[in-house]
Amino acid sequence: MKLFTDAVIAILILTNLRLIASSRISACIYAVACQGVLLGMLPLLVGPHYLTVRACALSGATVILKGFFFPWLLLRALRSANVRREMEPLVGYTLSLMIGAVLLAAAMWFGRQLPLPVPDHSPMVLPLAMFTIMVGLFVIVSRRKALTQVLGYLVMENGIYAFGLAFALSEPLLVELGILLDAFMAVFVMGITIFHISREFDHMDTDRLSALRD
């Protein structure tokens, strides 16, 4: 079981890597979808009680929302907005990878500094959560396209979710579902906004929006 958990966590970290190294937006969306599915499986693997009704409900809702619904919504926005690639990111891809390595090191150091109240969890969950949050933030600030920034937001939310996993026992289900609902609303609204921005302006580079005047 531990081997399997380790493998899932390693793949999760690698999906983050894929997100910051890929210029193709559809590849980024699939990476985030894969991350959503694996994150949904994680509550069943981590923690002392593997298969409770609560864990199954949480995991099912997460997989459906993050693994299928959000990616579907974003792929639809991608089709309607007619962009394929993030052409000129503010930070290049090779440099992004190196920054990713630094962030991972920072996350691991940070994970070691924070002892958790729950003893029986994999030691990699906390570094994973910190790394995912930082990658999400990094993607938000270093990419130009609104769609990639939404992906960054989603990944950051995934990180917060993974952080919550470490406390899954002491955290009520309602809070977890509330966060999911918030993320759902946010992505929904952002999907519509992207569609409107790209219809109005023929592109969705957010940094050019700051030049707008009324």
Partner 1 sequence: MNYGRLALPVLALALAPLLPGIINRTKAVVAGRDGQPLLQLYYDLAKLVRKGGVYSRTTSWVFRAGPVVGLVSAVAVLTVLPLGGASAPVSFPGDLILMAYLLGLMRFFTVIAALDTGSAFEGMGASREVQFSALAEPVLLMALATIWLAGRNPASPVHGFLFSLSAMYSRLSLATWVRSGPALLMVAGSLLVVFLAENSRVPFDDPNTHLELTMIHEVMVLDHSGPDFAMILYGASLKLWALGALLAGLLVPVRTGNTWLDAGAVILGLFVLAVLTGVIESAMARLRLTRVPQLLVSAGFLSTFALALILWS
Q: Point out which residues bind partner 1 (CB under 8 A).
A: 3, 6-7, 10, 13-14, 17, 21, 93-94, 97-98, 100-101, 104-105, 108, 123-124, 127
- The DSSP secondary structure of 104-154, one letter per residue, reads HHHHHHHHHH---S--SS-TTHHHHHHHHHHHHHHHHHH--BHHHHHHHHH
Task: Provide the minimum distance between the beta carbon of 76 and partner 1 in the complex, in angstroms, as a whole number.
Answer: 29
Task: Provide the minimum distance between the beta carbon of 189 and partner 1 in the complex, in angstroms, as a whole number.
Answer: 34
Q: Where are the alpha helices (DSSP H) in the chain?
A: 2-21, 25-45, 53-62, 70-81, 93-113, 125-142, 146-165, 173-201
Cβ 128 vs Cβ 116: under 8 Å: no
Comparison of 79 and 84: residue with beta carbon closer to partner 1: 84
Comparison of 127 and 191: residue with beta carbon closer to partner 1: 127
At 205, phi and psi to the nearest 5? -80, 115
Task: Provide the minimum distance between the beta carbon of 9 and partner 1 in the complex, in angstroms, as a whole number.
Answer: 8
Comparison of 105 and 189: residue with beta carbon closer to partner 1: 105
Q: What size, in residues, is the chain?
A: 214
Query: Helix, strand, or coil here: 7?
Result: helix
Task: Provide the minimum distance between the beta carbon of 132 and partner 1 in the complex, in angstroms, as a whole number.
Answer: 14
CA 200 to chain centre: 28
Comparison of 60 and 123: residue with beta carbon closer to partner 1: 123
Report d(CA 179, CA 156) in Å as an integer: 12
Comparison of 94 and 170: residue with beta carbon closer to partner 1: 94
Task: Provide the minimum distance between the beta carbon of 13 and partner 1 in the complex, in angstroms, as a whole number.
Answer: 7
Task: Provide the minimum distance between the beta carbon of 133 and partner 1 in the complex, in angstroms, as a whole number.
Answer: 17
Comparison of 105 and 175: residue with beta carbon closer to partner 1: 105
